[in-house]
Amino acid sequence: MDPMLEAKLLTTRRHLLGSMAGGIGAIAMHDLLAATASAPQPALVVDPMAPKLPPLPAKAKRMIVIHLTGSPPHLDLYDHKPELVKHDGQDCPAETIAGKTFAFTSGTPKLLGTPRKWVKCGQSGMELSDAIPNLHRVADKLCLVRSMFTDQFNHAPAELMVYTGSPRAGRPSLGSWVTYGLGTENANLPGFVTLISSGVQPNGGTGSFGSGFLPSVYQGVQCRSKGDPVLYVSDPPGMNRAMRRKTLDALKDLNELQARELGNPETVTRIAQYELAFRMQASVPEVMDISKESQAVLDAYGAKPGQSSLANNCLLARRLVEQGVRFVHLFDWGWDFHGTNPKEDIRDGLTQKAATFDKPAAALIEDLEARGLLEDTLVLCTGEFGRTPFREGRTAAGSILGRDHYPDCYSIWMAGGGVKPGYVHGASDDLGFKVASDMVHIHDLQATILHLLGFDHTKLTYRFQGRDFRLTDVHGHVVKQILV
């Protein structure tokens, strides 16, 4: 028998009444929904970047990060080890390398003492190398942490670990968490801006400044110090400003209908991004034009209008935070000092590379202070890990001195924004192999940054796939010793 015919023959009055009840209910529900749809709808919140007050007292209102991509040789910049110099060229003690894996080194490597000269700087007596003479001038503004460590020894995972709290792509970056929590103070500029020098993207790709599973309005907007400041934001040929405004108004109406119907936060993000892009067409070129600065300021940074450099980007960072941008992330490529070519030698190669960073970084600190911004602007300078106290395996037999990746102990510095000035936190052992006191893990650094910006890192969360995520995952402690 035909299955459909058989089903009809087996249908009883009970089935009929049941289906009729469902149908009547559906008709009633349709009428109720129609009435709701015709009622006045509440206005959509179309500005997810509106400024917000942090839940806790904050020392910092904004942040600038200088990331030296590849990771600088901290033992030749920030952490003087006379004992390492004394034992230069000797085999590493067995206990220092037992059970460890290195990126490009195997066997028993030779210890490498620094060839740099060292100076005790400022009233604090902070010891810094001759590779960074301009930072000597601002040593009493720096909070130097010599006891950092991380879990990762390869570039991309380590960089993602620093900025997203995870070595795997897909988590929101530090800048995204900050703008998610605080919004921005200038509606005509992005809340989170990324600037890249040396022509190479970060090791972690866009994930190092991406929004992950947060709404995409919180991702970093990559601007350029040369050419159009933001790609694809200009009006196409044949479209003037008035026509663009009419187009956006129509798109806004359509997106608002969809937002009310589906409730997807990305639709609200889309509205906000279209509107921000329209406003940016006028505001971004102005703030990105460093030719408006005095010659004295340009000279202090070593900046040159029309070029792309870390010097230009440090000056742009000051201009951006001065105009209310919440988070500025600078990435500078070229700090992977393996010793595979003369530019990676910790002698002349480091002198040349450090000169592109040292002057503008010192100028940034002085400029922020002169403008009354340093007190509530947190500046962080870091790589993704450190460098080994021994010679890199591939180049150990050559004349160029280089170091391998090293996650177990390294140095970073911060300034302003509520950290102790002229202060050195923690220490490594005599040879620089491990942290000897006051260990600071990456998650501890993240927790401390969020604390300075007014957040309890355990409570700044976002629910995704059934769980509440946070920057520090389930780890992290505020490093109270470095706080003012």
The encoded tokens of residue 338 equal 């393996």
Q: Confirm if 401 and 339 have CB atoms less than 8 A apart.
A: yes
Please report, in tens digits, the pLDDT of each residue of the chain (484 residues total). 454 445 555 555 555 555 554 454 544 444 444 444 444 444 554 578 899 999 999 999 999 999 999 999 999 999 999 999 999 999 999 999 999 999 999 999 999 999 999 999 999 999 999 999 999 999 999 999 999 999 999 999 999 999 999 999 999 999 999 999 999 999 889 999 999 998 889 999 999 999 999 998 899 999 876 666 665 556 667 667 676 677 777 777 788 888 787 777 777 777 776 666 666 666 678 888 999 999 999 999 999 998 889 999 999 999 999 999 999 999 999 999 999 999 999 999 999 999 999 999 999 999 999 999 999 999 999 999 999 999 999 999 999 999 999 999 999 999 999 999 999 999 999 999 999 999 999 999 999 999 999 999 999 999 999 999 999 999 999 999 999 9
CA separation for the pair 297, 359 (Å, rounded): 12
Rg (CA), the chain: 28
The residue among 373, 381, 471 whose CA lies nearest residue 417 is 373
> Residue 233's pLDDT is what?
59
pTM of the prediction? 0.85
pLDDT value at position 10?
54
Residue 254: exposed, middle, or buried by beta-carbon count in 10 A (0-12, 13-18, 19+)?
Answer: exposed
The whole-angstrom separation of Cα 265 and Cα 217 is: 10
Contacts of 38 (CB under 8 A, 6+ apart): none
Q: Rounded to whole angstroms, how far apart are CA atoms 360 and 299? A: 10
**In the Cβ-directed half-sphere of 268, how many Cα atoms lie within 13 Å?**
17
Q: Strand 142-149 to strand 410-415: parallel, antiparallel, or no bridges (unpaired)?
A: antiparallel
CATH of 62-229+288-482, one of 3.40.50.880, 3.40.720.10, 3.40.630.30, 3.30.530.20: 3.40.720.10
Is the backbone of residue 52 left (phi > 0), alpha (psi -120 to 50) or beta? Answer: beta
How far, in Å, CA of 470 to CA of 213, rounded? 11
Q: Which residues contact 60 (CB under 8 A, 6 or more apart)?
A: 376, 377, 378, 416, 417, 418, 452, 453, 454
Query: Residue 383 in 3-state DSSP?
Result: coil
* Predicted local confidence at residue 225, as pLDDT: 62
Task: Break the chain into its structural domains and give their ranges.
Answer: 3-33, 62-229+288-482
Angle between helices 348-370 and 310-322 (to 10 degrees): 20
pLDDT of residue 61: 98
- Which alpha helices (DSSP H) does 138-206 contain, by range? 155-164, 174-182
Give the β-pairing of 192-197 and 221-223: parallel
Query: HSE on the CB side for 478, CA within 13 Å?
Result: 16
The predicted pLDDT at position 252 comes to 75
* DSSP run (H or E) holding 464: strand 461-464
CB-neighbour burial class of residue 282 (10 A; exposed 0-12, middle 13-18, buried 19+): exposed
